Amino acid sequence: MNLKPTIGIETHIELNTNTKMFCRCKVVDTEEPNISLCPTCIGLPGALPVPNEKAIRYITLLALATGCAITKKGMFHRKNYFYPDLPKNYQISQFDLPVGENGKLEIVIDNEKDYVEIERVHMEEDTGKSSHEGTGRIDSATSTSLDFNRSGVPLVEIVTKPVIQSSKVAVAYIEELRQLAIDLDISEGKLEKGNLRFDANISVAPSESDELGTKVEIKNMNSLRSLERAIDYEIKRQSSAIENGESIIQETRHWDESKETTTSMRSKEGSADYRYFSDPDLPNMVLSDEFVNQVKDSLPPLPHENRNKLVETGLDLSDANVLSKSEKWILELYFEVFDNTKDSKATFNWITGELQGQMRKLEIKSLPEWFSPAFLSDVIKLIDENKISFTSGKVILEELIQKDTTPDDVAKKLDLYQENDESAISEIVNEVIKDNQDIVERIKNGEDKLVGFMVGQIIKSSGGSINPGIAKEILSKELNL
């Protein structure tokens, strides 16, 4: 049976506001529990929520950047469920009037553009953190301990339509969304800190069917590796169940990273289980045209716009995608260096290969103050003009990262400039030919591979200052090869 998977992803992005969503408690990043709390975020009776203007601005940025239509008169709803990390017994969220709807996000797959359709972008609040004390196993815990520092931190939820066909597309989508949040400066985008967390809804159906199969939700993943493996595992599990004639149960499953399997957590809730109703504490949220236009005007260059600019310099889409997901200074460095060299591929390779490789080796996260983008352009140009070898370029770069100097100074100090004067090179070549008559004889008798040996000898007698390409060229000429 030919089967096709369909995936929809719900992503929660923690915004990097100074204070929480519905109270003015500071958002703190600390292990010290319960130090930033007030009656609102621990759900004491009588406390009233007041939304954070910056969070509304941030979600509007994200909704506009994903091409969503903005709901001008929106509303907050209560999503009711009982769990100790939710002290009010409901989460303030949005239901049928989210901030944004019907958008799309451009992604790059195999050097081609693709789009993931976005169903909605809505605002909500995070819960506290619970840990289960006792034997370490959740099902035999003796008590639950709670830290409410995270309770009320603004969360944006982005829901895709069920349009994703593979784990590869899912990963590309999350990478793009993460970069967008970073470029918009609305989140730190650190997966390891849980700034982005995602749930995947996965179903499998016969290829020819227009209807989707029964969906299974995998909750709370926060690494791309988990996302990829959980989706692949789940597609396989559901496919073999269907092939064996078993039915798929609509449920929520948990991805177990150590066992690399998903296990059933509970039967899936429908929206009726949450008894949504409009929050009587929060009147209609009206986003005026003036506000929306002001937010629109403040949009920075988006990742797909950066990619387009990079492609204009001559890079292919896949390389442009890599750079569009780099730190901002790397992107700026690329454009500055390219302006001088006009060689997109060499600029890309030197920045993403050598420069970042050496920085990783030296364990430094940013370039030293003295390092000017012109240094990298100079190195690339010197190689291009055959004035230094590629290997010398690497040596120079290494020096430039570690010492306050210039490419020219390093090349002179380490004697890395190549001899390009043909008559001077010819002189050395003829010298080497004279000293190696037996080899020359063998080359003339057809032992081609000995040409390499001769080139080596020429470079050796020049003290490494001759470009191997030119040496070979002149040698061939002298030997009439």
Partner 1 sequence: MSEKFDITNIAKLASISLSDDEKQKLSSDLSVILDHVQALSNLELDTNIEDVYIHPLEKELVLDQDVEKPSLTHDEALSNAPKASDGKFIVPPSLE
In the complex, the residues that contact partner 1 under the rule CB under 8 A are 17-19, 23-26, 32-35, 37-39, 42, 44, 50-56, 71-75, 83-84, 96-97, 130, 132-134, 138-139, 141-148, 265-266, 272-273, 275, 278, 280, 282-286
Of the pair 209, 267, the CB lying nearest partner 1 is at: 267
Is 396 within 8 Å of 379 (Cβ atoms)?
yes
Separation of alpha carbons 375 and 381, rounded Å: 10
Residue 44 half-sphere exposure toward CB, CA atoms < 13 A: 7
Of the pair 58, 233, the CB lying nearest partner 1 is at: 58
Of the pair 133, 312, the CB lying nearest partner 1 is at: 133
Of the pair 148, 255, the CB lying nearest partner 1 is at: 148
CB 409 to partner 1: min, Å: 49
Separation of alpha carbons 19 and 65, rounded Å: 23
CB 92 to partner 1: min, Å: 12
Of the pair 120, 394, the CB lying nearest partner 1 is at: 120
CB 366 to partner 1: min, Å: 28
Of the pair 131, 391, the CB lying nearest partner 1 is at: 131
CB 159 to partner 1: min, Å: 19
Sorted by sequence, the CB contacts under 8 Å of residue 234 that are 6+ apart come out as 200, 202, 216, 218, 253, 262
Q: In what order do the strands lie in the sheet with 77-80?
A: 90-93, 77-80, 277-278
Is 359 within 8 Å of 365 (Cβ atoms)?
yes
CB 233 to partner 1: min, Å: 20
Is 468 within 8 Å of 422 (Cβ atoms)?
no
Of the pair 24, 190, the CB lying nearest partner 1 is at: 24
CB 198 to partner 1: min, Å: 17
- According to DSSP, the residues that pair with 200 across neighbouring strands are 9, 218
| Local structure of 77: helix, strand or coil | strand
CB 10 to partner 1: min, Å: 17
Is 15 within 8 Å of 63 (Cβ atoms)?
no
Is 100 within 8 Å of 121 (Cβ atoms)?
yes
Sorted by sequence, the CB contacts under 8 Å of residue 19 that are 6+ apart come out as 25, 26, 27, 52
Find, among 106, 105, 132, 103, the residue nearest to 119 by Cα: 103
